[in-house]
Amino acid sequence: MNQKELAGQVAKQLNLNKVEVEEILDCFLRNIITALAAGEKIRLVGFGIFEAHTRAGREGRNPQTGEKIFIPETRTPAFISGRVLKDAVRHKNADT
């Protein structure tokens, strides 16, 4: 399912305009991105936590030359699933 399909399903379930739901989803995602970029966590109870992790700098190698290089620290987005989400996925997989 992609974002437009999700918006269509939400619009249908709530009897709302699909275009408005797409705008709400876009706004929701932009706010998550903005919060993560600012170093904040987004906690959606039962669903999960969005947060940014910092990977420490490390030594690596250029795969073409074998030369040692330093890979600087980076920040990456992460998602930790919540209990409700985990249980829903586990039970769905157990049924199949």
pLDDT, tens only, 78-88: 999 999 999 99
What pLDDT, on the 0 to 100 scale, is given for residue 74? 95
First to last CA, the chain: 19
Report helix, strand and coil shares of the chain as percent, to nearest 5: 45, 30, 25
**Is the pLDDT reported for residue 61 higher than 90?**
yes
Phi and psi torsions of 56, nearest 5°:
-65, 150
Q: Is 24 in the same domain as 52? A: no
**Is the pLDDT reported for residue 21 higher than 70?**
yes
CATH of the domain at 66: 4.10.520.10
Q: Is 57 in the same domain as 12? A: no
Q: Is 33 in the same domain as 46? A: no
Q: Which domain holds residue 68?
A: 41-96
Task: Give pTM, 2 decimals.
Answer: 0.76
Count up the domains in the chain and report the number: 2
Q: Is 73 in the same domain as 33? A: no
**Is the pLDDT reported for residue 12 higher than 50?**
yes
Q: Is 48 in the same domain as 62? A: yes
Inter-residue contact 81 to 48 (CB < 8 Å): yes
Q: Is 68 in the same domain as 83? A: yes
Q: Is 48 in the same domain as 63? A: yes
**CA separation (Å) from 48 to 18, 59, 73, 92?**
26, 33, 25, 18
- Locate all alpha helices (DSSP H) within 1-96, ordered by sequence: 3-14, 18-37, 83-95
Task: Read off the pLDDT band of 67 (50, 70, 90).
Answer: very high
Q: Is 32 in the same domain as 48? A: no
Q: Which residues pair with 43 in a beta bridge?
A: 49
- Rounded mean pLDDT of the chain? 93
